[in-house]
Structure 1
């Protein structure tokens, strides 16, 4: 009779577990040990109807069933029970690891199901789609972009650098003279470099060879020309107006030309390709009788 009662207890416990597990939503069967305790108590209650020995047996049977069959709910259906699932809510059909988390094969922090750019190289920064960042929007990812900061809309090569169709060293978006013959020295607009190229905006302190602070920007632009044509022989020519003696102006123009030479060579220009010379007041371009004319005559030029 006791054996029959024990069998009934076992069947009852299984029915309870099956019924609770099928309802979902946080029943006591979600926790293995809570379930064991509840079913152990229930089993003991069933057994107590018979006698104390049956109560102990029922409690053991109930606890055993709880420990074996409870805690097995898998809410998101990914094959990993809720009690071990560190990533609940996985999309249906997504392969997961033993923790219940989706795979991220390229290790970029974006799981496979959301990764629109699989096989991203290790260490590359990506956006929410798993695609490499392209800060300047030129179509070349940051890790391969050798020319960051490309202007919007500019055509680039595979390295992310703007195209220079005529090969003159000035990119197409800045080239005002496309189609320049190969080897022709050009200015920063991509046009033929004048034989006497005036460095407009290069000025000096009064009666001095010291460059003014706003002259460096002009000289930095001039550096681009020299670095683009490192073997071009260039003379830096200094000129003054006619105020003062011709001898004094000759020396002043020489010192000013050297100041420009020193700045350019100190900042990367090829010294072997440069020379400097002062011409004093001997080569005016405008009328020294006017303030405007004298200002125009005080100048520095590239001659090649």
Structure 2
């Protein structure tokens, strides 16, 4: 009878062991659970031979513990230090954070290829080749700064964007050796009243001068040689002052501007022709220290 009971216990444990072994992949001894059941079967059967149910139970428990420990000690499965499913010997990123999704070589996924892994990427669909920050989001695109005349002053700040090559320019981008002509600024005959498209030219001049809050500008008025010299000097002064007042009305600092009139003293060309006299009636600006 004892043998029968022992046999039944052994067969029951063996059946559980076989069922457990079938539920695992690979050799049965690669899984500690199989080893534990095998130990339980053996321990329970041996102790059960004494016809003592308590002894059988104790033997099964002891056998399970011993079997599991032996199996664990002889475990031949490849090491996987970071638990990502890729054995250490194949893992090119052996310190992957627990739970991170990895590729076939054990490295974290970077779906958009921007150098920031998906786990940290706040912009996961960045187009290929886009430069990104540490969050994986596109970096701001730097504006292209144009400098058409290559004088070191950007076009949007250059008062003279077509300076001759090699010319030394001042702070506002104009030839530092001579005054800058406000071409197109005209006045009514014998008057300081602005005409034509003078407003457009002076509006642009004001916008550029406001970019240089510390630059001092002198506005210089000129006339042709017709009329009395004293009258022409006064007229040139009034015209320079008209330009100064206009620039101030558009936001240029008053303390940055001064005006003078030179009358007919410094003609650009001869006053013998109508075209020459037209060119000599002008307003110029120059940077002063």
Indicate the TM-score class for this superposition, using the shorter chain for normalisation: 0.3 to 0.5
Q: TM-score, normalised by structure 1?
A: 0.42
**Structure of larger gyration radius:** 2
Q: TM-score, normalised by structure 2?
A: 0.44
User: Which fold has the larger relative contact order, with Cα–Cα distance below 8 Å and residues 6 or more apart in sequence?
Assistant: 2
